[in-house]
């Protein structure tokens, strides 16, 4: 077996890893220098702060420190976790009594930029690195064995993502696979790789680039919405967090695990992940479409029809990749089909304005038929919704370049239950 170990990257190793992976994720749009600059700008965000982001390199201990075999990145993420069942209220460790269960804040990690140079591929370096990474992240310091009990420790609700700790404190880790189900044998199970697509039709008067400003103004008045600007994101994310804490305690009727499932969601009350993705979008807007200008609208909020009504909103960003131009929905929250139609219509208008050809939303929660006591699967509900949400296409992603969400659970036995990912949307991708 290869005698290699996983190390926290030095500054020079981090830069070298960025240069290497520019071949994979920069070209043909960006050369090495441009790709390094993109990463430098993203590192300036709160999400990319060194206390949250870490580069790892795997190398043979006796080898030159720059001659590493593979590399990856991790981001420290706080999670909201709900465990059903009878519990005592207000236990220590950031737990509180929920609706018949325990609601707690836990720590997790997202994994990205898994890279092996082409000349080193086919030797098992990626699989060994990911196995070693489990040991660095898992609170038990072990590789998880599915459905086997493991020791649990508690994390306080007020745990700080920038408290100086890193690793050996995770209840789970997750990633977005661009190599199909490659990671499943190593512990990361694919979860709900669905999305809805809507085509974006350019409107007259936009010179082929979408609608005129007067079209947007008319829709803004007709639909009673407020545009979401970058400065609005923290407030919106804070409200979303409060609603997520409530929603996670009440499973959807289409929840695969039902009422017995352990449920988790990414906690980000400051919207740092959304802002990181917006920063990424702005970089490409400046680089690829300087004549068009950088977007200043990143979502829409519907005006509440009554006092105390939940916020209904959509947050998005733009993918400017030539031939792949699409608006990605980062977060979508609505109470009924009329709200969903309004939000999608608004998004399509702005997508058209910036030359996007498609609108994509992950795991839209279409609660069709529940008022009549009818329980439908995600696929059935989506097909039913086509009658009310025209133009949508349901896609189950697979294969390469599909960003398949996948989770490794470190929090004890799942025997007799399952793990549900709530709000499994593009806004927490990295």
Residue 210, Ramachandran bin (φ over 0: left; ψ between -120 and 50: alpha; else beta)? left
Closest CA to 4 of 175, 127, 112, 118: 127
Per-residue model confidence (pLDDT) at position 344: 93
For the chain, how are helix, strand and coil distributed in percent, rounded to 5?
A: 30, 25, 45
All structural domains of the chain with their residue ranges: 5-190, 194-228+297-396
- Would you state the structure tokens that stand for residue 354, as one six-digit string? 């910036």
pLDDT of the chain, 430 residues: tens digit per residue: 578 999 999 999 999 999 999 999 998 899 999 999 999 999 999 999 999 999 999 999 876 677 899 999 999 999 999 999 743 333 434 455 555 789 999 999 999 999 999 999 999 999 999 999 999 999 877 666 542 323 222 333 444 666 668 888 999 999 999 999 999 999 999 999 999 999 997 654 444 444 455 555 555 555 589 999 999 999 999 999 999 999 999 876 556 667 889 999 999 999 999 999 999 999 999 999 998 889 999 999 998 777 767 889 999 999 999 888 999 999 999 988 888 989 999 999 999 999 999 999 999 877 644 444 455 566 666 666 655 666 788 899 999 999 999 999 999 888 778 899 999 999 999 9
Per-residue model confidence (pLDDT) at position 44: 96
CA pair distance 53, 314, nearest whole angstrom: 27
Positive or negative, the CA dihedral 385, 391, 392, 398 is: positive
Per-residue model confidence (pLDDT) at position 393: 87
CATH number of 5-190: 3.40.630.30
pTM of the model: 0.87
- What is the dihedral angle through the alpha carbons of 299, 287, 198, 269, rounded to the nearest 10 degrees? -30
């Amino acid at each position: 077996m290869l005698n290699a170990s996983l190390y926290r990257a030095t500054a020079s190793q981090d830069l070298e890893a960025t240069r290497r992976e520019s071949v994979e994720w920069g070209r043909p749009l960006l050369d090495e220098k441009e790709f390094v600059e993109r990463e430098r700008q993203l590192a300036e965000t709160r999400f990319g702060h060194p206390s949250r982001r870490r580069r790892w390199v795997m190398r043979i201990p006796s080898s030159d420190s720059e001659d590493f075999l593979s590399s990856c990145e991790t981001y420290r993420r706080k999670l909201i976790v709900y465990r059903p069942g009878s519990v005592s209220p207000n236990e220590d460790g950031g737990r509180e009594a929920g609706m018949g269960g325990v609601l707690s804040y836990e720590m997790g990690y997202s994994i990205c930029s898994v890279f092996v140079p082409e000349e080193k591929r086919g030797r098992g370096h990626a699989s060994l690195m990911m196995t070693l990474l489990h040991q660095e992240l898992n609170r038990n310091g072990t590789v998880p064995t599915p459905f086997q009990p493991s020791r649990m420790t508690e994390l306080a609700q007020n745990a700080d993502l920038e408290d100086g700790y890193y690793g050996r404190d995770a209840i789970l880790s997750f990633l977005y696979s661009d190599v199909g189900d490659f990671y499943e044998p190593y512990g990361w199970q694919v979860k709900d790789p669905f999305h809805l697509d809507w085509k974006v039709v350019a409107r007259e008067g936009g010179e082929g680039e979408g609608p005129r400003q007067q079209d947007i103004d008319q829709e803004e008045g007709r639909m009673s919405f407020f545009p979401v600007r970058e400065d609005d994101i923290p407030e919106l994310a804070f409200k979303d967090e409060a609603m997520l804490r409530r929603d996670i305690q009440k499973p959807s009727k289409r929840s695969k695990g039902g009422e017995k499932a352990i449920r988790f969601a990414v906690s980000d009350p400051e919207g740092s992940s959304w802002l990181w993705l917006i920063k990424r979008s702005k970089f490409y807007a400046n680089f690829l479409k300087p004549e068009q200008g950088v977007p200043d609208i990143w979502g829409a909020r519907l005006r509440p029809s009554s006092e105390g009504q939940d916020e209904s909103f959509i947050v998005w960003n733009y993918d400017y990749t030539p031939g792949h131009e699409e608006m990605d929905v980062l977060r979508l929250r609505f109470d009924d089909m009329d709200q969903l139609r309004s939000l999608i219509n608004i998004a399509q208008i702005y997508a058209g304005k910036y030359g996007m050809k498609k609108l994509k939303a992950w795991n839209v929660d279409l609660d069709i038929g529940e008022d009549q006591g009818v329980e439908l699967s995600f696929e059935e509900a989506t097909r039913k919704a086509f009658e009310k949400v025209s133009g949508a296409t349901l896609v189950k992603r697979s294969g390469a370049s599909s960003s398949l969400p996948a989770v490794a659970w470190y929090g004890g036995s799942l025997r007799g239950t399952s793990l549900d990912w709530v709000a499994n949307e593009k806004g927490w991708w990295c």
